[in-house]
């Protein structure tokens, strides 16, 4: 059935329903990702592992995540998000539940690796879907909304895990949260179609979605993408900053417990505050650059102004390791996490600003792979730094400085966020 023969409603806002699906997928992704970090101190005692072994477990996740990203973007571009995303959520949901059967640090590492392999598809799939369903002027806001699911997922995990642990034991935490992915799959299969094939999309909404000038539709090989400075502007930005976010996710609960002597129940409120504040940053960062574009700013000026503001908001985290006040540390980390999410919403968007829709999945996959490599290095370093120095000082210094360097790299490699030229032809307007 062609788009012109589909009986369409008079008005619709179906693109926001799709955005909501992406939001919930990201929420579940982070629920499954976050359970282990909340139980880390508890399992350190009951299973028996040290900081270096814990860093090996988190490194297994990040390494598999990086491997998954090597092929995820290409597979999404080839088979589409409807099929590709369904397979990925199935894999990561089974892997999340498999943690309940782990009995050693090694077997936790295996379960964690499969979780990372499946979860690798989430952001490339969401990025590609946003590029298909939203005009350029709305993309940063849409990115900010779905990306805020990361914070909501982390928050949901904080609320669920202590309760499930007290009532049913630690295994129930992994089984219950892993099952959420299968519920999402039912809605995805029922609702998702491409805009032109979706009967619930009105002619007006379809015209808005397709309002940007058309770009190429054929797949673009990595061989053609890797030489471009635009690819590396995005990818090195991810390399420098993604690991910082994972440090906060995997180590913040443990840091608060060790530094301030908190129990699993006592960290609920402080960590809830940090993750909820960061949700605001994700939406605000996306809204800011979209708002500036609506006011007539260039895409380049709008994105980089928003990113610069986020960089400035990260800098106060330098003081965190010197503070003796738990709530001051929580406040500084909350601001830094919010700034990261605002930064991330705009960094994701510049991939679709510079590349055609047919290449967005691949470019996002390349960048996310680089981000995972950066995360892998920081995760591995964290275990040794904490073990050897008995301090988180160096880690907070890395977290505070990473964004300054990343923005400088983006500006150096892509001073105007110009459309990429593939085979000498400009592929975006």
Query: What's the sign of the alpha-carbon dihedral 307, 125, 135, 10?
Result: negative
82: nearest Cα among 159, 189, 179: 189
Does the residue 123 lie in any domain? yes
State mean pLDDT over 197-203. Answer: 79
341: nearest Cα among 402, 271, 275, 414: 275
Residue 285 dihedral angles phi and psi, to the nearest 5°: -65, -40
Does the residue 215 lie in any domain? no
pLDDT band at residue 343, thresholds of 50, 70 and 90?
very high
Does the residue 172 lie in any domain? yes
Give the DSSP letter of residue 228. -
The segment with the largest mean pLDDT, out of 33-42, 76-85, 89-98, 277-286, is 89-98
Residue 398: CB atoms within 10 A of its CB come to 17
**1 vs 48, residue with greater confidence:** 48
- Residue 96 has a pLDDT of 94
Query: What's the sign of the alpha-carbon dihedral 322, 258, 338, 356?
Result: positive
72: nearest Cα among 369, 331, 336: 369
For residues 62 and 246, the answer to whether their CB atoms sit within 8 Å is yes
Chain centre distance of CA 223: 25
How far apart, in Å, are the Cα atoms of 101 and each of 10, 37, 172, 183, 241? 52, 17, 11, 22, 33
For 24, the domain range is 12-194+232-415
CA 403 – CA 398 distance, rounded (Å): 9
Residue 393: CB atoms within 10 A of its CB come to 14
Does the residue 115 lie in any domain? yes
Region of poorest pLDDT, from 257-261, 280-284, 345-349: 280-284
Does the residue 242 lie in any domain? yes
Contacting residues for 132 by C-beta, under 8 A, at least 6 apart: 81, 194, 195, 357
Does the residue 247 lie in any domain? yes
Write out pLDDT tens, residues 354-401. Answer: 887 777 767 877 887 889 889 889 988 998 998 899 899 999 999 999
CA 69 – CA 232 distance, rounded (Å): 16
- Residue 5 has a pLDDT of 46
Exposure of 129 in the CB half-sphere (CA atoms within 13 A): 29
Does the residue 220 lie in any domain? no
Contacting residues for 257 by C-beta, under 8 A, at least 6 apart: 41, 263, 264, 267
- Residue 362 has a pLDDT of 76
Domains of the chain: total: 1
Examine the pLDDT at 242 and tell me if it is beyond 90.
Answer: yes
- Residue 6 has a pLDDT of 54
- Residue 426 has a pLDDT of 41
pLDDT band at residue 4, thresholds of 50, 70 and 90?
very low
For residues 396 and 248, the answer to whether their CB atoms sit within 8 Å is no
Chain centre distance of CA 25: 11
21: nearest Cα among 188, 205, 209, 183: 188
> Which SS3 state, helix, strand or coil, does residue 265 take?
coil
Query: What's the sign of the alpha-carbon dihedral 116, 86, 205, 20?
Result: negative
Region of poorest pLDDT, from 167-176, 221-230, 405-414: 221-230
Residue 326 dihedral angles phi and psi, to the nearest 5°: -60, -45
Examine the pLDDT at 119 and tell me if it is beyond 60.
Answer: yes
- Residue 413 has a pLDDT of 93
Residue 8 dihedral angles phi and psi, to the nearest 5°: -105, 150
Q: How far apart are the first and last CA of the chain?
A: 30
Percent of the chain with pLDDT over 90: 40
Does the residue 3 lie in any domain? no
The enclosing domain of 24 has a CATH number of 1.20.1250.20
CA 50 – CA 392 distance, rounded (Å): 16
- Residue 99 has a pLDDT of 94
Polymer length of the chain: 429
């Amino acid at each position: 059935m062609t788009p012109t023969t589909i009986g369409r409603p008079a008005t619709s806002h179906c693109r926001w329903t799709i955005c909501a699906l992406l939001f919930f997928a990201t929420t579940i992704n982070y629920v499954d990702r976050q359970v282990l970090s909340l139980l880390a101190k508890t399992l350190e005692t009951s299973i028996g592992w040290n900081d270096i072994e814990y860093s090996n477990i988190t490194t297994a996740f990040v390494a598999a995540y990086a491997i998954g990203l090597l092929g995820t973007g290409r597979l999404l571009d080839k088979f589409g998000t409807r099929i590709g995303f369904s397979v990925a959520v199935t894999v990561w949901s089974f892997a999340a539940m498999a943690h309940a059967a782990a009995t050693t640090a090694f077997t936790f590492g295996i379960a964690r690796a499969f979780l990372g392999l499946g979860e690798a598809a989430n952001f490339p799939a969401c990025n590609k879907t946003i590029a298909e369903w939203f005009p350029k002027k709305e993309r940063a806001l849409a990115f900010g909304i779905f990306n805020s699911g990361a914070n909501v997922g982390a928050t949901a995990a904080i609320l669920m895990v202590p309760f499930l642990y007290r009532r049913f034991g630690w295994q129930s935490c992994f089984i219950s949260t892993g099952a959420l992915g299968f519920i999402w799959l039912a809605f995805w299969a029922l609702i998702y179609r491409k805009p032109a094939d979706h009967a619930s999309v009105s002619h007006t909404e379809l015209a808005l979605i397709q309002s940007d000038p058309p770009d190429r539709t054929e797949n673009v090989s990595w061989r053609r993408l890797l030489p471009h400075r635009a690819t590396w502007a995005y990818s090195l930005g991810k390399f420098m900053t993604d690991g910082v976010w994972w440090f906060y996710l995997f180590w913040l609960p443990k840091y608060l417990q060790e530094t301030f002597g908190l129990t699993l129940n006592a960290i609920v409120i402080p960590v809830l505050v940090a993750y909820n504040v960061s949700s605001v940053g994700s939406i605000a960062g996306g809204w800011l650059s979209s708002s500036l574009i609506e006011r007539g700013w260039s895409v380049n000026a709008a994105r980089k102004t928003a990113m610069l503001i986020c960089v400035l908001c990260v800098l106060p985290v330098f003081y965190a390791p010197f503070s003796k006040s738990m709530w001051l540390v929580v406040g500084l980390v909350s601001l830094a996490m919010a700034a990261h999410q605002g930064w991330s919403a705009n960094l994701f968007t510049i991939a679709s600003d510079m590349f055609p829709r047919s290449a967005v999945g691949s470019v996002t996959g390349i960048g996310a792979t680089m981000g995972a490599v950066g995360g892998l290095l920081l995760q591995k370093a964290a275990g040794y730094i904490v073990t050897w120095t008995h301090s988180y000082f160096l880690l907070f210094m890395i977290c505070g400085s990473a964004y300054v360097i990343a923005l400088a790299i983006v500006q150096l490699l892509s001073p105007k966020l110009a459309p990429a030229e593939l085979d000498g032809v400009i592929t975006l307007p």
